[in-house]
Amino acid sequence: MERKINRREKECEEKHSNSEGSEQDKDYKTTLITLNVGGYLYITQKQTLTKYPDSFLEGIINGKIMCPFDADGHYFIDRDGLLFRHILNFLRNGELLLPEGFRENQLLAQEADFFQLKVLSDAVKSRWEKEQLASRETTFLEITDSHDRSQGLRIFCNAPDFIAKIKSRIVLVSKSRLDGFPEEFSVSSNIIQFKYFIKSENGTRLVLKEDNTFVCTLETLKFEAIMMALKCGFRLLTSLDCSKGSIVHSDALHFIK
């Protein structure tokens, strides 16, 4: 008799334990929300979507705003499914983090306004204004002789990041051919100065050592700059010194998008 009672008690405990486990699983599943945004499915936690009170997503999850469901029972939001990735990342990280070269600020600002995320909307608009301001500022890179600045090449562009990329590329090429003599040229914010220049029939050479070992011709640097600009979507507006007769012989290049 006592053995039967113990067996029943054990069975009751197992049932109770199983029911607690199933309830915990159920609670965990209810914290996961699947959203269908313009045909793209996103799975995230309830606490992520309700992070900002009075936002559109918080209103949907807490039943304040009516939202249709798709055929699979997921919330359906008729907005840009690709851009929603950035909305969700903002909710997760609490800050605006966009990939390099992102150019859809205006569309993202509209999405932020729709989802009633004022903090995100302000961050996007601020980023957009800074980019607009930067696009109107012409920056330059000067590759010149430390003794005679009239000798060299000037590259102008309305994109500071491109100027930085050109500069790093030229420094990389130069260092690879210096053979342990980094003191032969100096780099500042907008100027690369080489220690020696010489003239030859084949063009101006940037000399790195007194034995006339050189990095490359200025013509090579011009072609390097032009090819990089075209790959990055820029176009050569004009040579700033057309009196030379050709791009190869010009003293300056001007790129714009």
Angle (CA) 148-214-173 rounded to 5° is 100
Q: What is the structure's pLDDT at 135?
A: 60
Tokens 């420094």 belong to 171
Q: What is the pLDDT of residues 47-92, one digit of tens each?
A: 999 999 999 999 999 999 999 999 999 999 999 999 999 999 999 9
Distance CA 235, CA 251 (A): 17
Q: Are 157 and 163 in contact (CB under 8 A)?
A: yes
What stretch of H or E contains 47?
A: helix 46-49
What stretch of H or E contains 216?
A: strand 214-217
Q: What is the structure's pLDDT at 170?
A: 72
Q: What are phi and psi of 252, to 5 degrees?
A: -150, 150
pTM metric for this prediction: 0.49
Residues sharing a CB contact under 8 Å with residue 9, sequence separation 6 or more, in sequence order: none
CATH architecture observed for domain 26-134: 2-Layer Sandwich (3.30)
**Per-residue pLDDT averaged across 34-56, rounded?**
96
Domain ranges of the chain: 26-134, 140-173+182-256
Q: What is the structure's pLDDT at 134?
A: 62
Q: Are 90 and 84 in contact (CB under 8 A)?
A: no
**Per-residue pLDDT averaged across 8-35, rounded?**
58
